[in-house]
Every structure is written in structure tokens, then in C-alpha cells.
Amino acid sequence: MAYIEVQHATREFRNGEQTTVANRDISFTVAQGAVVTILGPSGAGKSTLLNILGGMDSPTSGRVLIDGVDIAQFSAKQLTTYRRQAVGFVFQFYNLIPNLTARENVELASQITQDARNVDETLALVGLQDRAQNFPAQLSGGEQQRVAIARAVAKNPKLLLCDEPTGALDYQTGKQVLQVIQDAAKQTATTVIIVTHNSAIAQMGDLVIRINDAQIQSVTPNAHPTPLADIEW
């Protein structure tokens, strides 16, 4: 059975007389443990889709089955539990708590789930075991993003959602961060979704979903994802 099954999901935003359709009749499936890239230009509807998958928003119509359960039907309370237990988020800007150390940032996230990973092992997974006692301001952008990845992975999520995770990083650091996401995902068998507007980065996915003008343009399985070392942009 597919791990994610989105069926005819549409998300409209109404503002007075005006209606914006951010996602229109979106359907696709994702196998457990896959790394999926969602590619599309600005305004295509990528973040809207990611927010729906992460339980931060719900579609106006359609079904969003995660592990066989339709989260589109969830109440606000059920969505809160889903976000806490099942989903890890990595954003373009790292959103770390500035007055907590790297370790404390990760620990805080691990405390809200029952099935959390070991904090120090997770920091080691992203190569930051020696920087655990540093505050975010003492870390580079790439290191801060790695803390954010550790924070997301420490929850032991079923789903790791990354919205433009390299958007604020230089080329080399961006590559390293994507490698960390890919390695962490494969080692923990987590299903990962990475939103990007960069078609080169999209080639790292086991599945590449192209979105344009709120609609799916193509869903392409990638039997041989390009190794990050070979990706240039």
C-alpha cells in the first residue's frame, strides 16, 4: 500500500469576492521511505501542498491518505496530534530558538513525542556532535540548518517535510545539507518531501513531482536518482 495517497485534492482560498485556487485536483502516491521532490515556479502551489501533507492546512475537497488514514477529515485536535507525532519540518529559515543550545533545541522537539530518538545520536547523525553546546548564533547557516534537521528527525517522524531547505544557503553548503537530509532519511527509513524551485536539485528524488499553476504537470519515478555529488546548479 502506498504510504501517501493524495486523491483529487483541491485547496481554494476565498478572500471576499476573490477565490484563489492554490491546488487543483492534485493526485499522486508515494511509497514509504521514498525521497520525493516537488518542483515548480513561485506561486505554483508547492507550499500549500506541503502544508496540507503536514497537517497545517486541509484541502477544500479531496482525500489525503497518510498510512491509510484520511487526514483531510481530521479535526483541529487530531491535526495537532498528527503534526506532533508524525511530521518533522525543515524550513528555509531554520527557526531555531536562539537562547537554547543546539542540543536543547533538539531535545525540546524530542520531548513532545513518545517515540523520540536519542538526542545525541541524532546530533551525531547530522555531524554536529561537537557543536551540541553552541547557541544558534555561534553556528554557520549550514550548521543551523543541520540542527533544524536533527530537531525534525529526533521526533522520529513518519514524514519529513522540507520547504526550500537550501534557500538561504550557498551552493556547497546547500549540497551538504541535502546530503544530510538524504542520509538521515535513508538511515531512518523516513519518507521525505523536499520542495524546491531548482530543477537540478529535484533530480535527487526517487519521485519527482512537477507542479505548475496549481496543477500536477508530471509525476516521474526516478529509478536512478542523481547522487548529490553529481548535481550542479
For the four alpha carbons of 104, 106, 111 and 115, in that order, the dihedral sign comes to negative
Q: According to the binding rule CB under 6 A, does residue 88 interact with ligand ATP?
A: no
Give the range of 41-49, 59-67, 137-145, 185-193 binding ligand ATP by CB under 6 A.
41-49
| CB-nearer residue toward ligand ATP: 43 or 221 | 43
Q: According to the binding rule CB under 6 A, does residue 45 interact with ligand ATP?
A: yes
Q: According to the binding rule CB under 6 A, does residue 24 interact with ligand ATP?
A: no
Q: Rounded to whole angstroms, how far apart are CA atoms 134 and 166?
A: 22
Q: According to the binding rule CB under 6 A, does residue 46 interact with ligand ATP?
A: yes
- Burial label, 153 (beta-carbon count in 10 A; 0-12, 13-18, 19+): buried
Q: According to the binding rule CB under 6 A, does residue 171 interact with ligand ATP?
A: no
DSSP 133-187: T--GGGS-HHHHHHHHHHHHHHT--SEEEEESTTTTS-HHHHHHHHHHHHHHHHH
Q: According to the binding rule CB under 6 A, does residue 47 interact with ligand ATP?
A: yes
Q: According to the binding rule CB under 6 A, does residue 205 interact with ligand ATP?
A: no
Among 24, 129, 197, 231, binds ligand ATP (CB under 6 A): 197
Q: According to the binding rule CB under 6 A, does residue 13 interact with ligand ATP?
A: yes
Calculated CA dihedral for residues 27, 195, 3, 187, nearest 10 degrees: 160
Binding site for ligand ATP (CB under 6 A): 13, 15, 20, 22, 40, 42-48, 197
